[in-house]
Structure 1
Amino acid sequence: MGSRLLQTFIKNKFIWIACLILIGYLLPYYILGENTHIRVHDNLDSNIVWYKLLAETGQIFTLSDTTLPQVINGLPRSALPSAFDAVAWLYVLFEPMTAYTISQTIMRFAAFFGMYLLLTRHVFREAKSPWITVGAALAFAMLPYWPSGALSIAGLPLALHLFLTIRKFGWKTPKYNWVILLVIPFLSNFILSFVFFLAIMGLFWLIDWIRFKKANWSFFTAIASMTGIYLVKNYLVITSMFFNSGFTSHREELSLGHNTFERSVELAWENFLYGHTHDEAHQVLIIIPVIFTALLVAAYSNVKPRKLITLFVFNFCLSVWYAFWYWEGWRIVKDNFMIANTFNFARIHFFDPAVWYICFALALALLWKHLKFGKVLAIVLVVLQCSLVFGLNEENKYSEIDTPTFAEFYSEDLFDEIEAYIGEDQADYRVVSIGMHPTIAQYNGFYTLDTYNNSIPLEYKHDFRDVIEGELDKSPSLKNYFDTWGGRLYMYVAEHGEDYLFTKDRNEPIEQLDINTDALQKLGGDYILSAVPIKNYQELGLEHERTFENNGSPWEIWLYRV
C-alpha cells in the first residue's frame, strides 16, 4: 500500500508540488485571518459588504424584488447577489474573512486543475513536459484575479475542458464531468463572462451541425443546462428588468463611451500589454516576448504554429474590441439601442488571461522542441513567471502599498464606539460618509444614504445628486463620472477627487465643502461620518459632536450632526 502511494506521488510529483506552492500562496489568509491585506477596489469597498449585508437581511430568498432599508432608504434586492450564489452562502455559514478565504481557495485550485486539464487533454495532441503544462497552469492559478469573481474568470479553462470533453465523448462522458459543469454556475457570474462563453459554445455547436450534418445533442444539452441554471440563478435580475415596471435603474441613464479614436487606439494597446484591473495576466514582461521568440523559432524551423498564431491574434482582437466599445463612434448605436447602452459587451475581454496562458504553454512547447537549450530555457521561463505572479498575492501586493488590512478597513471597535455614542437604534437614523467608502459604515450596521451598487433607483440617484451638486460643479471630472455612470453614490469632494481612503496619517481638512444639507435632511440624513475635518461645518448648519480614533484603526472619524 505504501509503495503504491509512493509511486502515485512520484508519477504526479509536479502536480503535488504545484498544489503545495498554491497552499503557500494561500497561507497568508489562513495564518493572518482578518489581519491580511486584501484588495480594496471592487472588493472591500463593495462585494464583501454586499454578501455580508445579504446574509444578515433574511431576504436571501424572495420571489419579488423587495427593498432593503439598510441602504439608500430601500436598495432593491436584485442589486445584491442571487440566492443561488454559492459564495453568498459561504457568508451565511462563516464569518466574512473565513468565507473570503474559502472562496479564494476554491478559485485557485479550480483555475489550476482547469488549465492543466485543458492543456493536457485538448490543447496538446501529444504529451508535453509537466514543466510546461503544470507550470503554465500554476502561473495561471496565481494571477491577481478580481477576488469576488470566483470562477467567473479563473474557471473559464475548467468550463472549456468540460464542454470540449462532452463535445468529444457525447453521452459517454463520465458523469462527474456533468456534475462539475452544473456546479460552475453557482460559483460564477453569467453577466460578467459566461454569457459570452456560452454564446461561443453555441456557435461551436452550430458550426459542428453545419459541418457534420448532425446535431451533437449531448453538447447542446450541456449548453442549454448551464444557460438554464444561470437564468434561474438570476431570476430577480430578469424579473426586475422585464416585469417590474415600478423600478427604473440608474443604468437607464448610462452614457459610457466617449473616447476619441486616438484614445481608443491607446486603450487597445494598454489592454493588450497590461490587461484590465479585473483580469491582469501579467503578460508583458515574459509571456509576450516568449511568444514572439517562439514565432521566430517556428519560422526558422519551418513550423506553422496555427493554434498559437490564432489565439495570439484573438487576444489582440479582444483588446481592440474592448477599447473601441468606449469609442465615441459607438454612440449612435448606444443612444438608439438600450441594450447596447446598459449591457457592457466589452466584458468579453475577461477571456484574456486564459488565452494568454494557453499561448504561453504553446510557445514554451515550441522552444522546448525546436531550440537548442530550449528545455532549460523553458524551465527558467516557467520558474520566472511563477515567481512573478506568486509575489503578487494580496498580502504581498497590498502591504507594500500600505492599504489597510481587512480588520483595519472595517475597524469594528471604532464604529462600535460611534454607535454607542449616538445611542439610538441604527435603524432610526441615517448616515453618510466623507473621505471613506460608505460600505465601511454598512459593514458596521449603520443605515447609509450613500452606497456603491450595480443597480440603484434612478429617482434616488437624482435626489442624491442634489446633495452633492455644489461639489460636482467644482470638478468637471467628478461631474462626468457621476452623471454618466453613477454606480458610486458618494459624498464627493472636489478637493479629494476619486480618493476615498483618508486615514489619520493624511487627513488634511476640507477648506470649503459645498453640499446641500437641506437636501440631505430631506433624504433623512442625520449624521456625517467624515475621515477629515470640515472647516466650514458651521456655515453648513452642522454640529461637531465628537472625534473618534483608536490605536487599532487607521481612521479618525469626525462625527457631525446634520
Structure 2
Amino acid sequence: MRSRRTFLQPLPLALAGLVLFLLPFLLLGSHSFITIHDNLDTEIGSPYLLNKFRVVFDYRPTAVMPSIMNGLPRNALRSGLNPTVWLFGMFPPWAAYLVNQALVRLLGLLGMWALLRRRWLPGPRRRWLAAGLAVAWATLPIYSMYGLTVLGQPALLLAVLRLRAGRGGWWPWLLVAAFPVWSFFVFVGPFLAGAAAGLALYDAFYGRRAAALRVGAAAALLALMYVVVEWPLFYSLLVTQQFVSHRVEHDLLRTVAFGLGPGLRSAANFLLLGQYHSSQFFRGALVLAVLAALAWGRGGWRVAARRLAPWVAGMVAVALFCGFVLQAVAVVQHRLPLLHAFNLTRLGFLLPLASFGVLALSLRLLPGRRHTVAALLVATQLFIGLLMNAEWTNNLRELAGCPKKAQPTYAQYVAAPLFEKINTYLTQRTSMAPSGYRVGCLGFAPAVAQLNDFYTLDSNQNSYPLSYKHQFRPLIAGELAKDPALATYFDAWGNRCYFFSHELGRDFLVPAKPVRTVQDWALDAAAFRKMGGRFIFSAARLASPARSGLRPVADFADARAYWRIYVYEVAEPAP
C-alpha cells in the first residue's frame, strides 16, 4: 500500500509524464525527427567531429578541425568541458542527441519542481500544480544542444535565492559552479551574472550586507566558472586574438529593420511568443492566469495587481529592450567592436523562466476554491508547449504513419547509406580517402557531408576567420551578383558560408523528388580548385555544369534518403 501511495505522489507521476514525452524518440531512434534549422544543420556535427579528430581538449592555437573550411580553428567550436561533447564521444550522433535531450529535460524538470515547491508554489495543496508546471517546463520546445542554458535556470535561481537567505549548505554553491559547464556563456552568461550582481547591489542598498556578500560571491563564482569553461573565447577576446572573426563584418545597418513599427512587432514577438532559440511558445496561459488572478485573487484585484505588476513590467521592459536594441547597436556598431561578439537580444533567454514565474505567482494568488481553474491553466500551458514542440509533434506523426512533408528524419537527412555509396565510388575513382580532397555542397547543408566524414569548404559557423570569408567569396561572387538579398545575407552576416544559387535562394532542403534543376549556376572553378576543391555535391541537377567549369561524374539515389545527390568534378584547366 505504501509503494502505491509513493508512486501516486506528484513527482513520480511528473517523471512518468516526461518518460511518455520521450517515448516517441526512444521508439523511433535514428528515425526520429530532429530540429534541422541551427541544430542538425549546425550544432550536431561539431561535437561529433571534436571527438572524431580527438581535439576535444586541444586548445592550442595551432589546433584545427581539418574537415571544416580547410582547417577551422578548434577554438572556434564549443568547449570540451561541455557534457554534450562527452556524450558524442560515447554514442553515435543520433543517440547522443537523444540521451542529451533526455538528461537536459530531466534536470530541467527536477530544477523547476524544486523551485516551485520551495519558493513559488509551496504547501501541500499546490504540489499537483507544481508537478504539472514542472512537466510543462521540461517539455517546452527548446534547443537541447544548448544544454541547461534555458531549462537549468530554475535550479540556478533557487541556488542563488537559498544563498541569499543563508540556507542550503554547500549544494547551492555547487549548482552555481556547475551551471556554466552545461550552458552557453554567449546566450545567458552575461545576463545571469549581471542579474545576480544587481540583486547583490539591491541587498547592499537596503542594508542586507550578509545577503549581498553571499549573492555577490555567487555572481563572481558564476562569472569565474564561465571564464574557466570558455577560456579559449575569453583568451581570444581579451589576451591574444587567435584569429579575426568574420563577425566583425556583421552589419546591422543592412540586416535590421528600422523604425517604431518593426521594433514594436519584434518586442511583441519576444513577449508573447519568445525567440525560437530560447523556446518559442505562446504565452496564452500566462495571460489567462493573470486575468484569473485579477478577477478571483485573494485580497481583490488591487493585491493581485500589486504583486504581479513588477513581474509583468519586467517582462515588458525586457521585450522592449530586445525589440529595439539592435536598432540602437547598429548606430554605434563600428565604434564598439565587442558588440559584434554578443547579441544583446539574447537577454530574451530569461523570458521563459519569467513567464513561468508570472504563471506560478498568479496560481498562488488564486484561492483554494479555484483549484479547478488553476489546474486548467496548468493543463493549458502543458498543451501549448507540446503543441508547439515541433520535434515531438512530428515524431507523433511519424509513429502514426503520416510524416510531415519536407521534414526528414535524422536518418533521412544524414542519409548515411547514400553518402557511403558516394564515398565508395569516389575512392575507387580517385584512389583517395575523403581527406585527400575538398567538396562543396549545393542545395543542402554542408553538415550532412561533414557527418558523413567528407571535408567541406563550406559550413555554417557562429565564428570563423574573416580571412576565410574573404577567400571564399570569389567562389560564389557570380551568384551573389545576381541576387542582392543573397549578397547582403553573406556580406552583412555570413554565418552560412555556403555555395549559394540565386535560383534556389536560401532553400537548403532540396528533396530527391521532384527533381530540381538549376539552369545557370556561376562558380569560380579556378578559385575553387585553388582552395583544394574537387567535387560539388548538389541536391539539384545542374543544367549546364560546363559553364561553371564542372563536368558530371554520377548521381546517387537511395530510397531511405531525403536527397538525390549529383556529383560534379571541377574540370582541369586547359594546357
Give the TM-score, by structure 1 length: 0.93
Contact conserved, 2:329 with 2:339, CA < 8 A, in 1? no
Match of 2:79 in 1: 82
Q: Give the secondary-structure state (helix, strand or coil) at the position aligned to 1:244.
A: coil
Number of matched pairs: 552
Q: How far apart are residue 95 of structure 1 and its match?
A: 1.7
Query: Does the Cα contact within 8 Å between 1:368 and 1:378 map onto a contact in 2?
Result: no
Q: Equivalent residue for 1:527?
A: 535
Aligned residue in 2 for 1:209: 204
Residues 422 and 351 from structure 1, CA distance in 2 versus in 1: closer, same or farther, beyond 3 angstroms?
same
Whichever residue aligns with residue 266 of structure 1, its letter is R
- Partner of 2:420, secondary structure, is helix
- Residues 1:233 and 2:237 are matched in the alignment: no
2:413 to 395, 403, 409: 409
CA contact (8 A) 2:149 2:183 kept: yes
> C-alpha separation between the residues in 2 aligned to 1:251 and 1:64?
22
How far 1:402 sits from its partner (Å)?
4.2
1:192 corresponds in structure 2 to: 187
Matched, 1:144 2:125: no
Q: Name the CA shift for 1:178/1:393 in 2 (closer, same or farther; >3 Å).
A: farther
Matches within 5 A, 1:151-550: 151-169=148-166, 173-212=168-207, 214-216=209-211, 217-256=213-252, 258-261=256-259, 262-298=261-297, 301-327=301-327, 329-369=328-368, 374-391=370-387, 392=389, 394-397=391-394, 399-423=403-427, 424-550=432-558
Q: Is the 8 A contact 1:37 1:406 kept in 2?
A: yes
**Partner letter of residue 448 of structure 1?**
T
Q: Superposed, which structure 2 residues align to 1:56-95 within 5 Å?
A: 56-65=52-61, 66-95=63-92
2:520–2:544 Cα contact (<8 Å) kept: yes
Q: Which moved more, 1:374-383 or 1:354-363?
A: 374-383
Query: Alpha-carbon deviation of 1:340?
Result: 2.1
Unaligned runs of 5+ in 2: 396-402, 571-575
On the 8 A contact 2:554/2:566 being kept in 1, the answer is yes
> Is 181-190 or 398-407 further displaced after alignment?
398-407
Bigger mean CA offset, 154-163 vs 205-214: 205-214
Matched, 1:39 2:35: yes
The C-alpha deviation readout for 1:384-419, integer Å capped at 9, x for no partner, is 322332343614236435411111111111111111
Q: Is the CA contact 2:443–2:507 (under 8 Å) kept in the aligned structure 1?
A: yes
2-side partners of 1:341 and 1:93: how far apart?
35
- Tell me how far 1:167 sits from its aligned partner: 1.4
| Distance in 1 (alpha carbons) for counterparts of 2:373 and 2:405 | 33
Q: What's the secondary structure of 1:201's corresponding residue?
A: helix
- Does the residue aligned with 1:561 lie in a helix, a strand or coil? strand
Q: Which ranges in structure 1 are unaligned for 5 or more consecutive residues?
A: none
- Shift of residue 21, structure 1, vs aligned partner: 0.8
Deviation at 1:138, TM superposition (A): 1.6
Do the aligned residues in 1 keep the contact of 2:406 with 2:509 (CA within 8 Å)? no
Structure 2 letter corresponding to 1:37: F
Amino acid at match of 2:320: V
Query: TM-score normalised to the size of structure 2?
Result: 0.91
Q: Distance in 1 between matches of 2:132 and 2:438?
A: 52
1:136 touches 1:360 (CA, 8 Å); kept in 2? Answer: no
- CA distance in 2 between counterparts of 1:124 and 1:382 reads 13
C-alpha contact 2:437 2:532 (8 A) present in aligned 1:
yes
CA distance in 1, matches of 2:122, 2:18: 27
> 1:191 offset after TM fit, Å?
1.6
Partner Cα separation in structure 2 for residue 307 and residue 89 of structure 1: 44
For 1:43, the aligned partner's letter is N
How far apart, CA to CA, are the structure 1 residues paired with 2:60 and 2:28? 40
Matches of 1:352 and 1:246, distance apart in 2? 34
Distance 1:131 1:326, change over 3 A: same
Alpha-carbon contact 1:76-1:456 (below 8 Å) kept = yes
- Aligned CA-pair RMSD: 2.0
CA distances 1:258-317 after superposition (whole Å, capped 9, x unpaired): 321121121111222221111235234432233234334459544244342222221111
Task: Kindly report which structure 2 residues correspond to 1:73-152, keeping only aligned pairs within 5 A, or say none.
Answer: 73-124=70-121, 129-152=126-149
Cα distance change of structure 1 residues 138 and 125 upon mapping to structure 2, 3 Å threshold = closer
TM-aligned CA distance change 1:511 to 1:102, over 3 Å: same
Secondary structure in 2 aligned to 1:432? strand
Q: Contact 1:290/1:360 (CA < 8 Å) preserved in 2?
A: yes
- CA–CA separation in structure 2 for the residues paired with 1:157 and 1:204: 16
- Residue by residue over 1:30-83, the C-alpha shift from the partner in whole angstroms, topping out at 9 and shown as x without a partner, is 221101011001111011100101111111122423222211111011111111
| Distance (whole Å) between structure 1 residues aligned to residue 98 and residue 347 of structure 2 | 27
Change (3 A) 1:409 1:122: same
Question: What amino acid sits opposite 1:177 in the alignment?
Answer: P
Matched letter for residue 16 of structure 2: L
Q: Distance in 1 between matches of 2:268 and 2:441?
A: 37
1:247 match: secondary structure: coil
AA partner of residue 419 (structure 2): F
| Pairwise CA distance, 1:213 | 5.6
Amino acid at match of 2:170: K
Secondary structure at the aligned position of 1:119 is classed as helix
The question of whether the paired residues in 1 share the 8 Å contact of 2:285 and 2:378 is answered with no
Change (3 A) 1:390 1:246: closer
The one-letter amino acid of 1:287's match is: L
Q: Which amino acid aligns with 1:169?
A: G
The CA distance in 2 between the partners of 1:338 and 1:214, in whole Å, is 37
Distance change (3 Å), C-alpha of 1:523 and 1:244: farther
Q: SS where residue 539 of structure 1 aligns?
A: helix
Mean alpha-carbon deviation: is it higher for 195-204 or for 214-223? 214-223
